[in-house]
Amino acid sequence: MENLIRTIKPMKKLINGMATVLTVLLAGLAGCATEPTDLSGNSIIPKPVSITPAGESFALTAKSDIFIMPGSPEELTSIGNYLAGKLNPSTGLGLEVITDGRKPGKGDILLAIGTGDEELGEEGYELNITGKVLTVTANKPAGIFRGIQTVRQLLPPEVEAGTVGEGPWTIPTGTIRDFPLYGHRGVMLDVARHFFGPEDVMRYMDQLAKYKMNVLHLHLSDDQGWRIEIKSWPNLTVHGGKTEVGGGEGGFYTQEEYTQMVKYAAERYITIIPEIDMPGHTNAALSSYPELNTGGKAPELYTGIKVGFSTLDTRSETTYKFVDDVIREIAALTPGKYIHIGGDESHVTKPDDYVYFINRAQDIVESHGKSVTGWDEIAHATLKPGTVVQYWARAENAVMGLNQGAKVLMSPAKYAYLDMKYDTASIFGLNWAAYIEVDDAYNWDPATLVPEIKKENIVGIEAPLWTETVSTFKEAEYLIYPRLPGYAEIGWTPAEMRSWDEYRVRLASHGKRMELMDIGFYRSPLIEWEPAVE
Ligand code: ACM
């Protein structure tokens, strides 16, 4: 017995000792979980250009506010209010925007213009996070806006919940220096095959902003519907806007609604590029005005999903009066440089007529002070300086455009089309170009895809969503997410810094953020989602 006690006692001591060590270890781990100190362990998408960890922790508290120094551009106050609007509902910390010259103290955020650092350009930013203050610096307000998206992603996922969570709202300390690879990082949304109202479009813009994207290309007209009010040709929407694929009720944006969307975009440093697709993909317009048709007879409205059967009468001056009126009205609503004239799949327009039409449409766009962008077929015409050719189908068209001095926007259907199914089991989408799983969507480089198209020829990347198969935005979300963050990263992060194996881990942690924002994303089996998908 004695012997037994003699052995048990030291054992107990040993166990107690081990328990103490374990408790300390666990406390340490728990400390790590609640008070992150390693800035390199983030899951920011798109991946920043450079991160230097400092090993401590910054915390937002009830005392925190957002500071803007006197003399800063007015826009910074709006950005500060936007940030407060994102953080307050979930943190409950009541951050206010302070512009009266007081200095930031412990736990505050400072937004400041003026690094004088040319490499950061228009949209780059620097985050300096100390235990005391989190400072976002940039050359331009656009850079501050991109920088605060990084701040959101550095906070715990619950920051996106929109209802008050417990926190703690901590961020590891260090420095992030970041700027985009391409100037044009966008998506295209087809609101013609199915109509999506301003609220859906604005919700989409919130997500684009979150991933630092800066262009929303709206496909405003097609065979199935005309979606923007044109005051000089009212029947385009009265008649041409009243249905959609499958025979639903369609819809259109009034010019006032459209202006609201343009403003909402601008507040997120997003440019809307409006597209009027011509001379093909025009059945809705042809059905609205008989005089636009060769032969003068209006066809019925169309609710199917075939392409390539319609054309404007390219040899009629009425057509050019129509194009001039439409472009004039749209140019007046468009602060951006570009108007997209479509130009794709005009299979029933004779080649000579097609070239004649595109040349005249370009003149009209220029006469209203804008530059032309169009699908890659427009390279068959004589392109004006400053034109952007959107490569979607035929590399030889894009190269023909390059040889005329145009720049290329990369939207190869096989890699960048958000409406392609993920695999044979996908519940929405088409598959005529490819099945595009999340890794296929991520694993390509715009600058090496076509040997003749080099980095310096490319303005950026755009991921189009054609909407033949989706009639609600919830359905659209299944196709958009989780491929969208990958396209954002392709546009922002240098190709040599990207790797699928590392990206898929970061993407996994965005599952929780998307859930908290009620985004109906596709749970790709290639991603180990957090939280796990049953
Ligand atoms: C296109 O997909 N027709 C541009």
Q: In this predicted model, what pLDDT tens digit does every residue of 147-161 receive, in sequence order?
A: 999 999 999 999 999
| Co-location of 205 and 164 in the same domain | no
Of all protein residues, whose CA lies closest to atom 1 belonging to ligand 1?
344
**What is the Å distance from ligand 1's center to 392 Cα?**
7
Q: Is the pLDDT of residue 16 over 50?
A: no
Return d(Cα 144, Cα 150) in angstroms, integer: 10
Residue 331 maps to which CATH number?
3.20.20.80
Exposed/middle/buried for residue 81 (C-beta within 10 Å: 0-12, 13-18, 19+): middle
Which residue range(s) make up the domain with 142? 34-178
**What is the Å distance from ligand 1's center to 463 Cα?**
12
In a domain, 510, yes or no: yes
Task: Indicate if ligand 1 lies below 6 Å from the C-beta of 253.
Answer: no
Residue among 80, 57, 63, 62 nearest 129 (CA):
57
Return d(Cα 269, Cα 383) in angstroms, integer: 28
Task: Indicate if ligand 1 lies below 6 Å from the C-beta of 344.
Answer: yes
In a domain, 123, yes or no: yes
CB distance 294 to 339 below 8 Å? no
Task: Indicate if ligand 1 lies below 6 Å from the C-beta of 391.
Answer: no
In a domain, 523, yes or no: no
Task: Indicate if ligand 1 lies below 6 Å from the C-beta of 375.
Answer: yes
| Co-location of 168 and 201 in the same domain | no
| Co-location of 162 and 231 in the same domain | no
Q: From the CA of 375, give the closest atom in ligand 1.
A: 4
| Co-location of 142 and 271 in the same domain | no
Residue 43 maps to which CATH number?
3.30.379.10
Domain count, the chain: 2
Mean pLDDT value across the chain: 94
**What is the Å distance from ligand 1's center to 406 Cα?**
19
In a domain, 521, yes or no: no
Of 159, 178, 197, the residue at which a domain comes to its end is 178
In a domain, 10, yes or no: no
Residue 23 neighbours by CB distance under 10 Å: 10
| Co-location of 269 and 125 in the same domain | no
Q: Is the pLDDT of residue 299 over 50?
A: yes
Task: Indicate if ligand 1 lies below 6 Å from the C-beta of 345.
Answer: yes
pLDDT in the model for residue 531: 76
> What angle is formed at CA 96 by the lines to CA 92 and CA 101, rounded to 5 degrees?
155
The predicted-structure confidence for 36-57, as pLDDT tens digits, reads as follows: 899 999 999 999 999 999 999 9
Q: Is the pLDDT of residue 139 over 70?
A: yes
Active site residues: 345
Of 178, 195, 211, the residue at which a domain comes to its end is 178
| Co-location of 437 and 477 in the same domain | yes
The predicted-structure confidence for 262-287, as pLDDT tens digits, reads as follows: 999 999 999 999 999 999 999 999 99
Task: Indicate if ligand 1 lies below 6 Å from the C-beta of 417.
Answer: no
pLDDT in the model for residue 534: 55
| Co-location of 199 and 161 in the same domain | no
Of 178, 212, 240, the residue at which a domain comes to its end is 178
Of all protein residues, whose CA lies closest to atom 3 belonging to ligand 1?
344
Q: Is the pLDDT of residue 28 over 50?
A: no
Q: What is the 3-state secondary structure (H, E, C) of 361-400?
A: HHHHHHHCCCEEEEEHHHHHCCCCCCCEEEECCCHHHHHH
| Co-location of 251 and 144 in the same domain | no
In a domain, 22, yes or no: no
Task: Indicate if ligand 1 lies below 6 Å from the C-beta of 258.
Answer: no
Q: From the CA of 281, give the closest atom in ligand 1.
A: 3
- What's the mean pLDDT in 74-97? 98
| Co-location of 274 and 407 in the same domain | yes
In a domain, 26, yes or no: no
Contacts of residue 133, defined as CB under 8 A and 6 or more positions apart, other chains included, come to 58, 104, 105, 106, 107, 108, 109, 110
Task: Indicate if ligand 1 lies below 6 Å from the C-beta of 462.
Answer: no
Query: Would the pTM of this model clear 0.85, i.e. be above it?
Result: yes
Query: Which of 392, 409, 414 has most ligand 1 atoms within 8 Å of its beta carbon, as the pocket-test mutant?
Result: 392
Of all protein residues, whose CA lies closest to atom 2 belonging to ligand 1?
392
**What is the Å distance from ligand 1's center to 58 Cα?**
47
In a domain, 28, yes or no: no
| Co-location of 344 and 475 in the same domain | yes
| Co-location of 171 and 239 in the same domain | no
| Co-location of 275 and 154 in the same domain | no
The predicted-structure confidence for 196-220, as pLDDT tens digits, reads as follows: 999 999 999 999 999 999 999 999 9
